[in-house]
């Protein structure tokens, strides 16, 4: 594998085609769901696969994050973006101590190589520098078993304080936090 470069991305990096080669494919078999106030794994097979339109929408969201003083980090091999993480700069919570992890993705063929962990570390360092005490994570992919395993492996736990707006928008996602 070629050398991976990690860098903070600015608007110049986030041109429309930056994700054209990104492979957001995930075959999910099981997801976490809350039943009787407990999280249980259920069979819920589906495939997550971004088309070009979805990739362009994601680029727009990343640009919007940067425009609003958020932080985006990228993992790059041979001038190709193979992973990214994005955190908002909008504080929330009763003590105004949370920042939201908006996105965290690694191209399928590069998963399980430590790239996601490094991107998470970089975004956590940025959140700390911005003054956050916690990162809020609405664990994505409808709380797939794999996504949950990743966030738990990096030290995330169930959120102490639930952001009701986020939870309503993502009703199947596990609401988690990472203490900085």
Residue range 105-156, pLDDT digits in tens: 999 999 999 999 999 999 999 999 999 999 999 976 568 888 888 999 999 9
| Structural domain spans, the chain | 5-179
What pLDDT shows up at residue 1?
64
Residue range 59-97, pLDDT digits in tens: 999 999 999 999 999 999 999 999 999 999 999 999 999
Which class in CATH covers the domain with range 5-179? alpha beta
Mean pLDDT, all residues of the chain: 93
Look-up of token digits 């970089």: 122
CB atoms closer than 10 angstroms to residue 76: 19
């Amino acid at each position: 594998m070629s050398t991976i470069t990690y860098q903070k991305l600015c608007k110049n990096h986030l041109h429309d085609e930056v994700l054209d080669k990104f492979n957001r494919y995930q075959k999910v078999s099981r997801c976490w769901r809350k039943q009787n106030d407990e999280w249980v794994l259920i069979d819920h097979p589906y495939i997550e696969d971004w088309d070009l339109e979805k990739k362009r929408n994601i680029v727009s969201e990343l640009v919007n994050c940067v425009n609003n003083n958020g932080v985006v980090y990228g993992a790059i091999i041979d001038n190709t973006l193979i992973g990214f993480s994005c955190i908002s700069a909008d504080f929330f919570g009763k003590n105004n101590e949370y920042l939201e992890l908006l996105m965290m993705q690694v191209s399928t063929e590069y998963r399980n190589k430590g790239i996601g962990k490094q991107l998470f570390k970089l975004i956590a360092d940025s959140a700390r520098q911005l003054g956050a005490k916690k990162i809020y994570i609405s664990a994505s992919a409808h709380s797939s078993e794999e996504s949950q395993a990743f966030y738990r492996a990096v030290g995330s736990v169930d959120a102490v304080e639930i952001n009701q707006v986020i939870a309503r928008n993502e009703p199947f996602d596990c609401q988690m936090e990472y203490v900085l």
